């Protein structure tokens, strides 16, 4: 119930393509879903986040799609660039709690 | 602001040795966290603190200890290092509790126990 399942484990996309990473959760009490981006040798950094009262959130080339009934959410990176090559983690949390449950990560490589 | 800083960046320990991983934040955040990151496993919470003098266990606390004597510092102590503690360790902080409040991560400490 506390797991967040993330797929795929790795992804290779051509420059200009769309990168899609998926996450699924079980605990319906989760109400905050952030995505973190991590470059090699660096700590994760918040990229974009969504709450379940909206089905989509867009920030520049990054979009989160949220399907509450299916308990799934995904990250879409439009017009993917080589600079987007990084590891992406989804996470889930409950408002007012300390705990984040992280997915296992997706290593994205965008080919020039 | 430097954000969250961690030292050392890399360390090799022999089995049974002890060490302290340092973490400092200059954002006046109340909440601080220690995670470990293993390949293909995401991040697992070791310990967290809600303020100076208050700490609590996360998901994987065995083999570790923490203290929080100031708002800024949250060191992680490894006693009797074991190969299973080979990992990358991240310290993070947030202004208030998670779940809507961004956690800011340090650059990590890569620890190898041989």
Per-domain residue ranges for chain A?
4-96
> B40 and chain A: CB distance < 8 Å anywhere?
yes
| Bond before B8 cis per omega within 30 degrees | yes
Distances (CA, A) of B78 to A37, B18, B21, B46: 28, 5, 8, 11
Nearest residue to A23 (alpha-carbon basis) of B42, B97, B33: B42
**Nearest Cβ partner of A43 from B31, B90, B102?**
B90
Distances (CA, A) of B86 to B34, B59, B72: 15, 17, 26
Does B101 fall in a domain? no
Distances (CA, A) of A98 to B48, B81, B92, B95, B97: 8, 27, 12, 11, 5
Instruction: Tell me which residue range forms the domain holding B25.
Output: 4-96
Distances (CA, A) of A55 to A26, A27, A52: 18, 18, 7
Query: Would you call A41 and B107 a contact, using CB atoms and an 8 Å cutoff?
Result: yes
Does B110 fall in a domain? no
Does B32 fall in a domain? yes
- Reduced to 3 states (helix: H, G, I; strand: E, B; else coil), residue A83 is helix
Q: Is 90 exceeded by the pLDDT of residue A100?
A: no
- How far is the C-alpha of A49 from the C-alpha of B99, rounded, in Å? 10
Does B104 fall in a domain? no
Does B105 fall in a domain? no
**Homologous superfamily of domain range A4-96:** Immunoglobulins (2.60.40.10)
B23, B41, B74, B99: best to mutate for the A interface, most A CBs within 10 A: B99
Q: What is the pLDDT of residue B2?
A: 82
| Domains identified in chain B, total number | 1
Read off the CATH number of the domain in which B54 is found: 2.60.40.10
Question: What mean pLDDT is reported for chain B?
Answer: 93
What 3 state SS string does A16-82 have?
Answer: CCCEEEEEEECCCCCCEEEEEEECCCCCCEEEEEECCCCCEEEECCEEEEEECCCCEEEEEECCCCH
Q: Is 70 exceeded by the pLDDT of residue B99?
A: no
- According to DSSP, the β-strands at B109-113 and B87-94 are antiparallel
Query: Would you call A44 and B48 a contact, using CB atoms and an 8 Å cutoff?
Result: no
- How far is the C-alpha of B112 from the C-alpha of B114, rounded, in Å? 6
The model's pLDDT over B14-27, given as tens digits with 9 standing for 90+, comes to 999 999 999 999 99
> B2 and chain A: CB distance < 8 Å anywhere?
no
The model's pLDDT over B68-98, given as tens digits with 9 standing for 90+, comes to 999 999 999 998 999 999 999 999 999 876 6
Contacts of B108 in chain A (CB under 8 A): 41-43
């Amino acid at each position: 119930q506390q797991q967040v399942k993330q797929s795929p484990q790795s992804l290779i996309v051509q420059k200009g393509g769309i990168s899609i990473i998926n996450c699924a959760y079980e605990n319906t009490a989760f109400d905050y879903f952030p995505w973190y981006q991590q470059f090699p040798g660096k700590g994760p950094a918040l990229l974009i986040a969504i709450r379940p009262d909206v089905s989509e959130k867009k920030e520049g080339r990054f979009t989160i799609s949220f399907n509450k009934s299916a308990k799934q959410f995904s990250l879409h990176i439009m017009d993917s660039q080589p600079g987007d090559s990084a590891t992406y983690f989804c996470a889930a949390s409950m408002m007012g709690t300390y705990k984040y449950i992280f997915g296992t990560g997706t290593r994205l490589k965008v080919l020039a | 602001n430097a954000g969250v800083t961690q030292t050392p960046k890399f360390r090799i320990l022999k089995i049974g040795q002890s060490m302290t991983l340092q973490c400092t934040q200059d954002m006046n955040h109340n909440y601080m966290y220690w995670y470990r990151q293993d390949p293909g496993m995401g991040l697992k919470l070791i310990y967290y603190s809600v303020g100076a003098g208050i700490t609590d266990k996360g998901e994987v606390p065995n083999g570790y200890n923490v203290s929080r004597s100031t708002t800024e510092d949250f060191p992680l102590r490894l006693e009797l290092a074991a190969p299973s503690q080979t990992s990358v360790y991240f310290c993070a902080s947030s202004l208030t509790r998670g779940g809507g409040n961004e956690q800011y991560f340090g650059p990590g400490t890569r620890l190898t126990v041989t």
